[in-house]
């Protein structure tokens, strides 16, 4: 009986220890690690890691295209490579993290680029161009140049991300405000021209 209890106690201790160290446990250490992993993935536009650690309707769509077209991945890298972030607070009860983010101001460049495209092509034509490598190379290089010329924002923007517990790791949920902040205003500018 004592042996059985000892074995059960050891198993319970191992289980509790594993849960405490698990990557999906809601702890400040895991939240911090998740934020660092997600923002590193954004800077590198690592599509596999983004799918694992970030839930965002707009970013999910861009990631899908980036997995098929290297030009889109390079554009993602250009948009996010200058992003700076700092965790401001973690609320484990509300399962949220507030982060101050700063990027280049990409709103005007993205707006000008989107307006030019909309004046030249309708939506159906643009969708067909997504498989045209020559078009992607030429047009996305234009946008990357605008990104390169843009200046860093002077002030950071606070965003609050909800934290989801997946089966293996925590995941950050980005709403439109957060998507816009991390993209330096590029995503909202493009949406304003083309609609959602």
Name the nearest CA neighbour of 98 among 29, 161, 41, 170. 161
- Average pLDDT along the chain, 196 residues, taken 10 residues at a time: 58 49 83 96 95 92 88 92 96 97 94 88 83 87 91 94 92 94 90 73
pLDDT value of residue 69: 87
Q: Which residues of the chain form beta strands (DSSP E)?
A: 54-55, 84-91, 96-102, 157-165, 170-173
CA-closest candidate to residue 28, choices 119, 93, 76: 93
The pLDDT value given to residue 9: 58
Please compute Rg for the chain using Cα positions. 21
Residue 2's pLDDT is what?
A: 57
Please, are residues 140 and 74 in contact by the beta-carbon 8 Å criterion? Answer: yes
């Amino acid at each position: 009986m004592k042996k059985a209890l000892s074995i059960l106690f050891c198993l319970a201790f191992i289980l509790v220890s594993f849960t405490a160290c698990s990557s999906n446990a809601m702890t400040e250490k895991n939240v911090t690690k998740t934020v660092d992993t997600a923002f590193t993935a954004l800077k590198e536009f690592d599509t596999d890691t983004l799918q694992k650690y970030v839930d965002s309707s707009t970013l999910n769509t861009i990631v899908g295209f980036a997995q098929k077209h290297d030009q889109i991945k390079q554009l993602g890298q250009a948009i996010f490579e200058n992003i700076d972030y700092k965790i401001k607070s973690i609320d484990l009860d509300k399962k949220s993290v507030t982060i101050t983010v700063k990027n280049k101001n990409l709103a005007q460049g993205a707006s000008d680029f989107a307006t030019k495209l909309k004046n030249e092509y309708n939506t159906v034509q643009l969708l067909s161009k997504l498989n045209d490598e020559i078009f992607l190379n030429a047009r996305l290089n234009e946008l990357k140049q605008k990104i390169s010329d843009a200046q860093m924002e002077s002030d950071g923007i606070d965003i609050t991300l909800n934290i989801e517990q997946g089966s293996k790791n925590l995941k950050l949920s980005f709403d439109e405000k957060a998507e816009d902040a991390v993209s330096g205003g590029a995503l909202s500018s493009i949406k304003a021209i083309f609609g959602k």
